[in-house]
Amino acid sequence: MKQRPRIIIIGAGFGGLFAARALANKPVEALLVDRQNFHTFTPLLYQVATCALDPSDIAYPVRSIFRQNKNIHTLLGDVIAVDYTARQVTIQTHQGLRQEPYDYLIIATGSTPTYFGNDAFRAHALELRTLSDAVQLRNHILTKFEQAAWSQESAEVEALTTIVVVGGGPTGLETAGAIYELYNHVLSREYSQRDLRARVILVEMLPHLLAPYPATLRDAALAQLQSLGVEVILERPLTHVAADHITLGDGRVIPTHTLVWSAGVSASPLADMLDVPLARGGRLPIQPTTEVIGRERVYAVGDITYLEDADGQPYPMLIPVAQQQGILAAENILADIDGRSSHPFSYHDRGIMATIGRRRAVAWIYNRIPLRGYMAWLAWLALHLLTLLGFRNRLSVFLNWVWNYFTYDRSVRIILEQQQSTLWPQPISTSPPPNMVQ
């Protein structure tokens, strides 16, 4: 019997997961490698960070997803080398290094935050890319408010209750809005010793929030954010970051102990392992088939890739792009195995949306229909509930939302700190950023 082709998928995010699903019950053996044992529904990370949801509400064990699919195997590990000549990858697991051979490789490791050369900012910044990040931000937020409640110095109280969010994309808006509501609608009721109000400041280097949106929605988002109470500072870069303050481009100093960084991402460092010239943001240039240019039988999908559409614009780093590319990579690999011809990527774009807080959101459905306020917020809720993986998670998120909406409470307000991971001696996320060919 001929051995089935072996496909290794690196990364169980949206791209890798949809690739693996498209390979389920097909005449191949697939190995899905991830550093976590779960898939994370990243659009709701900010709700974990702001005490509205439990971590497990937005995480789904990868093994459960493929319980019925005997040809999809999963391995908990960190890929530390790709040998594209010998067609094998080296994986750091709990039990040391493993060499795993492949016939086809799909790289779907996404992106990591970038500080645009100011790596010194990282030491004082909180990120929101992984479930651990979200729990860490939750612990930080609750701890700073506790400190403020007992501080004797008013300057210190001000710094402890001032939160700066950098980045005017959807994550920045959602995080700023949710932190504002958490502080001023939930926590402040429980600090009776003094009148604690939080200041939430959103800083964006560009002249607009939500750069890819049409002007009416950009303006609506700004107005909604300001009506909530968030201060917005546009066209100002950060020039200096310290533990207790930041400095803006115009020399203004903002005392703060909490800097949330959602200003930009670059490709996952794994892009470096293929020794090909990288595109902007360290991204892997791929062909329209999702095959990496210059590397046979290596496919890449999602945030880590660079591909231009018919107008010469790069596809955005969005979940639907990753999902659709993941499916296409799997189909093109199956076609290659069968000797059929492969298909080019064609993006089915259903639009973009961002939420700002309770009953506040903007949406641009099919990039044609603009929605704002209550309607956009309902559309956002429905979409996120429906796309969440697993009935139990959907039910739990729905009940938490109903609970939080009617009680003005946030359920998950515990500061739960844990021991350091003994799993990865040298996590990839702290590696130096990749060399980029601009």
Indicate the length of the chain as a whole number: 438
Among 4, 56, 188, 231, binds its own copies (CB under 8 A): 56
Q: How far is the CB of 56 from its own copies (least distance, A)?
A: 4
**Whole-angstrom Cα distance, residue 147 to residue 151?**
6
Does position 86 interact with its own copies (CB under 8 A)? The reply is: no
Sign of the Cα torsion 308, 168, 393, 367 reads negative
330-345: string of b/e by CB count within 10 Å (b at 16+)? Answer: bbbbbebbeeeebeeb
Which of 247/429 has CB closer to its own copies? 429
Sign of the Cα torsion 380, 381, 382, 386 reads positive
Among 1, 3, 85, 94, binds its own copies (CB under 8 A): 94
C-beta of residue 206 within 8 angstroms of C-beta of residue 168: yes
Q: How far is the CB of 119 from its own copies (least distance, A)?
A: 18
Which of 243/437 has CB closer to its own copies? 243
Catalytic-role residue among 29, 174, 181, 291: 174
Q: How far is the CB of 74 from its own copies (least distance, A)?
A: 9
Which of 64/387 has CB closer to its own copies? 64
Q: How many residues bind its own copies (CB under 8 A)?
A: 54
Among 55, 214, 370, 373, binds its own copies (CB under 8 A): 55
Which of 55/433 has CB closer to its own copies? 55
Q: How far is the CB of 160 from its own copies (least distance, A)?
A: 9
Burial of 56 (0-12, 13-18, 19+ CB in 10 A): middle
Does position 416 interact with its own copies (CB under 8 A)? The reply is: yes
C-beta of residue 65 within 8 angstroms of C-beta of residue 17: yes
Rg (CA), the chain: 22
How many angstroms from the chain centroid is the CA of residue 329? 21
CA distances (Å), 361 to each of 184, 228, 349, 356, 406, in order?
Answer: 19, 11, 19, 5, 19
C-beta of residue 178 within 8 angstroms of C-beta of residue 52: yes
Helical spans, DSSP H, in 339-409 = 373-387, 391-407
Does position 95 interact with its own copies (CB under 8 A)? The reply is: yes
Does position 409 interact with its own copies (CB under 8 A)? The reply is: yes
Which residue stretch of 65-73, 111-119, 339-347, 374-382 sits at the interface with its own copies (rule: CB under 8 A)? 65-73
C-beta of residue 140 within 8 angstroms of C-beta of residue 183: no
Which residue stretch of 188-196, 204-212, 281-289, 350-358 sits at the interface with its own copies (rule: CB under 8 A)? 188-196
Q: How far is the CB of 286 from its own copies (least distance, A)?
A: 30
* Residues labelled as active-site residues: 174
Binding site for its own copies (CB under 8 A): 36-38, 54-57, 59, 61, 63-64, 67, 70, 73, 75-76, 93-95, 98, 131-132, 135-136, 142-143, 146-147, 150-151, 189-193, 392, 395-396, 399, 403, 407, 409, 411-421, 423
